[in-house]
Structure formats: structure tokens, C-alpha cells
């Protein structure tokens, strides 16, 4: 049962353009969402997060948008750079609770062409 | 300085053997995790420990046994290895228990069972 879905396995964009990575979730109890970036042979690294009380969070070139009614979030990278080429994982959780845990999607491979 | 380290990085072994993967974090975090990334690329939580106390134990075969000698270390022992155990195993740590936030991942251990 995939509670977090990243339906597009890959995305290719030109350097300088916008990258939009999408993520859908099914569990309405999720109230905290995160994006992680992963380079080959390395562990995932935290990129940006958003709480369900917000619909947008921005950090430099990275912006995450949350549409709770559609159970959809997206990560925008503007402008895209070749160093952004990596696998991006969407993750979701209930923020509080003794057994809080992250549920990950299967990732999207982003390629930024010079 | 590496924040979350794992050893070994690669592990090739035969079915039926017993092996261990070690994890150490120098971030002073209270909570540590083990994740498994299988061939379908999903990152799935296996265990989490908080101050040496087991918090999360997903439906993992009891051949897998985590051991936390102190809050900076969380080792994973696997008995009677099977072909299906082949995967990349990631250790992670975070500051808060009961509030899922940013997790710091190790580089992963690629386990191949032949």
C-alpha cells in the first residue's frame, strides 16, 4: 500500500529552467511533509519541509507547495542547476506521536542538462 | 567529520550466514533508525531507537535484531541471511522523538546475498 506516490520516475530539464517534482499521498492523517535529495552512493539529505498548516515554504531556490484538498505537494527548483541532478524523495508523516515515522515515496530522478 | 557513519559500505555474503552492520552518529541525537531500500527503491523504516529504547519495530523478520549499546550507536544484526535480504540499508538519526523532523542519513550499506 503506497501511501506516498511519486508517479514520474524521472524528469529532465534544461539548466536555468524550472524543475517541478510532484508527490501525492493517500493518508489524510499526514500533517508534515519533507523532501530529501540523494546522490549516488550517498545517503539522502534533507532539503525542505512543510507543515500542513501552511501551503507554501521557500528556501532559496527551493519552494514546496502543499494542496491538502488534493493531497498533493510539489517541489519547485528555480533556476535549476546541473548540481541539482539527483534522486528526490518525498516523505510524509504525522508530526507528533510516540511512533511517528517517515513514509517515503520511491523517488524521482532529476537530470539537469547544461 | 562524518555525521552518521556506517560500516561496512559493501557486504557480500552467502545465504545462511550471519552478518552485522554498524552505525554511529556524532550529532548528539537521541533517536536512531534503520531503513531498507529494496530493488523497487522504496525507503522503508525497519526500527527506531530513542536513548537505547526500541520505539518502532516494523514487520521485520526476527532474523533482524537491532542493538543499541549507547545512544550514539545502533547496530543491525542479521541472522540466516536470505536472498531477499539483498538491499541497501541506511542508518539515520534525528534530534526529536515523537516529533518527526529532519533526519540525517548515513551513506548506506549495500548488502548482497548470493
Between A64 and B51, the more confident residue is A64
Task: Find the mean pLDDT for residues B12-20.
Answer: 97
Mean pLDDT of chain A: 94
Q: Report the pLDDT value the prediction gives residue B40, as an integer from 0 to 100.
A: 80
- The rounded distance, in Å, linking the Cα atoms of B91 and B45 is 10
Provide φ and ψ at B75, rounded to 5°. -100, 155
Average pLDDT over residues A80-106: 89
Percent residues over pLDDT 70 in chain A: 96
Q: Is the pLDDT of residue B98 over 60?
A: no
3-class secondary-structure state, position A44: coil
- CA–CA distance, B2 with B104 (Å, rounded to integer): 11
What is the pLDDT confidence band of residue B97, given thresholds at 50, 70 and 90? low
CB contact under 8 A, B48 and A101: yes
- Judge contact between A9 and A110, C-beta under 8 A: no
List pLDDT tens digits, range A58-71. Answer: 999 999 999 999 99
Residues in B closer than 8 angstroms to A34, CB to CB, are: 102
Q: State the pLDDT at residue A100.
A: 77
**Interface size, chain A vs chain B, as Cβ–Cβ contacts under 8 Å:** 59
Q: Is the pLDDT of residue B41 over 70?
A: yes
CA distance B64 to chain A (A): 19
CA distance A114 to A95: 38
Distance from CA of A13 to the nearest CA of B (A): 22
Residues of B within 8 A of A96 (CB-CB) are: 98-100
pLDDT bucket at A98, cuts 50 / 70 / 90: low
Contact at CB, A41 and B48, closer than 8 angstroms: no
Judged by CB atoms closer than 8 Å, whether chains meet at A100 and B99 is answered as: yes
Say how far apart CA A83 and CA A27 lie, in whole Å.
33
Contact A49 B4 (CB under 8 A): no
Of all residues in chain A, the one with the smallest CA distance to B47 is A101
Q: Does residue A97 carry a pLDDT above 70?
A: no
| Mean pLDDT taken over chain B | 91
Would you call A89 and B102 a contact, using CB atoms and an 8 Å cutoff? no
**Residue range B6-26: mean pLDDT, rounded:** 97
CB-based contact B103 A102, cutoff 8 Å: yes
Rounded to 5 degrees, φ, ψ at A82 are: -55, -35
Task: Look at residue A72 in the predicted model and tell me its pLDDT.
Answer: 97
Q: What is the mean pLDDT of residues B7-36?
A: 95
Amino acid at each position: 500500500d503506497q501511501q506516498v506516490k511519486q508517479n514520474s520516475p524521472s524528469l529532465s530539464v534544461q539548466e536555468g529552467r524550472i524543475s517541478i517534482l510532484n508527490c501525492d499521498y493517500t493518508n489524510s492523517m499526514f500533517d508534515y511533509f519533507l523532501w530529501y535529495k540523494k546522490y549516488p552512493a550517498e545517503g539522502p539529505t534533507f532539503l525542505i519541509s512543510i507543515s500542513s498548516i501552511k501551503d507554501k515554504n521557500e528556501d532559496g531556490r527551493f519552494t514546496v507547495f502543499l494542496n491538502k484538498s488534493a493531497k498533493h505537494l510539489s517541489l519547485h527548483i528555480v533556476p535549476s542547476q546541473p548540481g541539482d541532478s539527483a534522486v528526490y524523495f518525498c516523505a510524509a508523516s504525522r508530526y507528533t506521536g510516540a511512533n511517528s515515522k517517515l513514509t517515503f515515496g520511491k523517488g524521482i530522478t532529476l537530470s539537469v542538462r547544461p | 567529520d562524518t555525521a552518521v557513519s556506517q560500516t561496512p559500505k559493501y557486504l557480500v555474503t552467502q545465504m545462511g550466514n550471519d552478518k552485522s552492520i554498524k552505525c554511529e552518529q556524532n550529532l548528539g541525537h537521541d533517536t536512531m533508525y534503520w531503513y531498507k531500500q529494496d530493488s523497487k527503491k522504496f525507503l522503508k523504516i525497519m526500527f527506531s531507537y530513542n536513548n537505547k529504547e526500541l520505539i518502532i519495530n516494523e514487520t521485520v523478520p526476527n532474523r533482524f535484531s537491532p542493538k543499541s549499546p549507547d545512544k550514539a550507536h545502533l547496530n543491525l544484526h542479521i541472522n540466516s541471511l536470505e536472498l531477499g535480504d539483498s538491499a541497501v540499508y541506511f542508518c539515520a538519526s534525528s534530534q526529536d522523538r515523537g516529533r518527526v523532523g529532519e533526519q540525517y542519513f548515513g551513506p548506506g550499506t549495500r548488502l548482497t546475498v548470493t
